[in-house]
Amino acid sequence: MIRKEPGRPDRKILNTNLTIAILVGQVGFLTLFIVLAAVLGGLWLDNRFQTRPIITIVLLVVSIPISVTVMLGVVRSAVARIKVEGRKGNRNQSEEEPGVGRNQNT
């Protein structure tokens, strides 16, 4: 039987929290990158074609749904990975502790 030491956080909770923190950082970086690319690309194109704010504004507005779509894709894949890892962990735990999570009357 696995016993948890008092005062020591559960490793599974720590891993989940770390994964969520990494995910938030990754989503934030990707959003920032997409918006900055849109702004810088728009400014460059506006300079090139002498259409000062128009292309920058259009690219900035277009970057918003692109950013949201990329964010949802990253979050969905990360959540799917977390669920798969959680199932693997539950399978290992049930092998070590056969009575956990099962009805004892059957």
Arithmetic mean of pLDDT, 83-106: 60
pTM, two decimal places = 0.72
> How far is Cα 51 from Cα 26, in angstroms, rounded to an integer?
34
Arithmetic mean of pLDDT, 56-68: 97
Arithmetic mean of pLDDT, 49-68: 96
Dihedral sign (CA 46, 49, 52, 58): negative
| pLDDT at 43 exceeding the cut of 60 | yes
| pLDDT at 24 exceeding the cut of 80 | yes
If one compares 77 and 94, the residue with the highest pLDDT of the two is: 77
Burial class (CB in 10 A: 0-12, 13-18, 19+), 59: buried
